[in-house]
């Protein structure tokens, strides 16, 4: 007896992660005019349409074609909590059960959305709670963009003027440069006039220093750059940020100098520096930091350490952090102390953990496990 074979339906393309160029190629492949791309992009990202039937200036025939071949697919929000300081955290469940976290930080003149680029993180930074969760996979471009899309829809329900997204920072779960292609697509969409229209100064990528990709980013994008520095000697940084063993400070600084050469005259690099009591917070460390970044247009963001169980670290006393800042400022540098936000809901820097099916198998050697790339 012959059993009929059930044919698998073709996978629909998630338009949410497509750049304008991708969408133009998609529509021309279906026999449509390329200008449909900008129409659909505006409906998705500016009008936040969730269904093709909402796109009223598109013919019914085309809407039916889109339903058959494409989708606007987003993760499910399984947790939504607001801190006493107004910070809001969402936990989003992805296909397969993994969860990522996204945080919105409202201020009087802007609203910053901190988004994730990977499920977990493979860099294993010793002071970061996110790194303790291990690593599962990269997010797709659509999953990265979906965080901004979903936050925009939810915040649109709030009538307060400051509840809107003016800045996007890739500082959530993961190392963005280890998911380079998908991150670059998402950044392109964030800055696209037909999508979110954010300027290059309002989209920031934070990296621990994956240098081949950092060099490539400088050639292909002018996104604002933040570098997770955290130490001024290779010995200390090797223990805090293990990627330093592969790309030490002298190479990182050379890449930073090259990156800034490719940018506009007013561009700068933000160096993030978590303050750890007795580890990296001495006067000597501050003086070495001044010498290390000499000649780079820079802003130093001093980050009070956010404790988590069994971290092994303590936050530097505020008097020490302020003294560190004063030393930098007397040398003519711009230095700020980051205000901790969302700590009561574990939404502060280094606290995003989500739920990660760790596939990194960390017993393997450092170079082959976490990077898989030639130096």
How far, in Å, are 24, 232, 261, 315, 351 from residue 273 at the CA level?
A: 42, 10, 23, 12, 16
167: confidence class by pLDDT, cuts 50, 70, 90: very high
What average pLDDT score do residues 323-329 get? 98
User: Is residue 363 pLDDT above 50, yes or no?
Assistant: no
Least confident of 79-88, 217-226, 235-244, 317-326: 79-88
Kindly report which listed range (33-42, 120-129, 147-156, 248-257) carries the lowest average pLDDT score. Answer: 120-129
Distance CA 105, CA 166 (A): 10
Average pLDDT value over all residues in the chain: 87
Torsion of CA 48, 54, 59, 65, to 10 degrees: 80
Q: For domain 76-370, which CATH number applies: 3.20.20.70, 3.40.50.10800, 3.30.70.20, 3.30.70.260?
A: 3.20.20.70
pLDDT score, position 347? 45
Q: Which residues are catalytic?
A: 101, 349
In the chain, DSSP finds a helix count (H) and a strand count (E) of 11, 14
Whether the per-residue pLDDT at 21 is higher than 60: the answer is: yes
Strands (E), the chain: 13-14, 70-71, 76-82, 88-93, 99-106, 111-114, 118-120, 135-138, 167-170, 203-207, 224-228, 269-275, 298-304, 334-337
Q: In the predicted model, what is the mean pLDDT of residues 19-43? A: 95
**What pLDDT, on a 0 to 100 scale, did the predictor assign at position 9?**
55
- Percent above pLDDT 90 for the chain: 71
State pLDDT tens for residues 107-155.
Answer: 888 999 999 999 988 888 888 877 777 888 999 999 999 999 999 999 9
SS3 89: strand
Local confidence band at 209 (pLDDT 50, 70, 90 cut-offs): very high
pLDDT of residue 370: 35
Find the mean pLDDT for residues 74-80: 93
pLDDT value at residue 159: 52
For residues 224-238, give the mean pLDDT: 97
Q: Which CATH architecture has domain 13-71?
A: Orthogonal Bundle (1.10)
**Domain residue limits, the chain:** 13-71, 76-370
pLDDT over threshold 80, residue 367: no
Whether pLDDT at 355 is above 90:
no
Q: 76-370: same fold as 13-71?
A: no
pLDDT at 332: 96
Cα distance between residue 266 and residue 222, in whole Å: 12
């Amino acid at each position: 007896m012959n059993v009929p074979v059930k044919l698998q339906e073709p996978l629909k393309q998630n338009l949410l992660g497509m750049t304008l160029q991708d969408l133009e190629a998609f529509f021309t492949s279906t026999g449509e005019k390329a200008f449909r791309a900008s129409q659909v992009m505006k409906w998705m990202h500016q009008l936040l349409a969730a269904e093709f039937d909402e796109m009223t200036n598109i013919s019914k025939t085309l809407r039916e074609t889109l339903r058959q071949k494409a989708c606007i697919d987003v993760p499910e929000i399984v947790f939504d909590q607001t801190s006493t300081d107004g910070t809001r955290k969402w936990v989003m469940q992805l296909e397969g059960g993994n969860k990522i976290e996204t945080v919105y930080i409202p201020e009087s003149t802007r609203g910053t959305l901190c988004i994730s680029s990977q499920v977990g993180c493979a860099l294993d930074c010793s002071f970061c709670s996110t790194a303790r969760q291990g690593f599962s996979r990269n997010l797709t471009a659509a999953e990265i963009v979906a965080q901004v899309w979903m936050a925009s829809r939810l915040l649109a329900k709030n009538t307060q003027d400051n509840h809107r997204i003016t800045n996007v920072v890739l500082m959530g779960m993961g190392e963005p440069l280890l998911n380079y292609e998908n991150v670059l697509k998402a950044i392109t969409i964030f800055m696209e006039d037909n999508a979110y229209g954010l300027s290059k100064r309002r989209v920031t990528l934070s990296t621990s220093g994956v240098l081949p990709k950092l060099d490539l980013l400088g050639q292909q994008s002018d996104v604002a750059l933040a570098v997770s520095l955290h130490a001024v000697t290779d010995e200390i940084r090797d223990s805090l940020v293990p990627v330093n063993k592969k790309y030490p400070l002298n190479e990182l600084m050379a890449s930073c100098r090259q990156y800034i050469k490719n940018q506009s005259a007013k561009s700068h690099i933000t160096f993030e520096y978590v303050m750890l009591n007795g580890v990296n917070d001495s006067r000597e460390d501050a003086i070495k930091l001044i010498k290390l970044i000499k000649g780079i247009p820079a802003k130093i963001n001093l980050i009070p350490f956010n404790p988590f169980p069994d971290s092994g670290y303590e936050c530097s006393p505020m008097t020490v952090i302020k003294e560190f800042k004063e030393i930098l400022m007397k040398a003519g540098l711009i230095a700020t102390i980051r205000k901790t936000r969302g700590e009561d809901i574990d939404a502060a820097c280094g606290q995003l953990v989500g739920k990660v099916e760790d596939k990194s198998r960390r017993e393997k050697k450092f170079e082959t496990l976490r990077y898989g790339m030639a130096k």
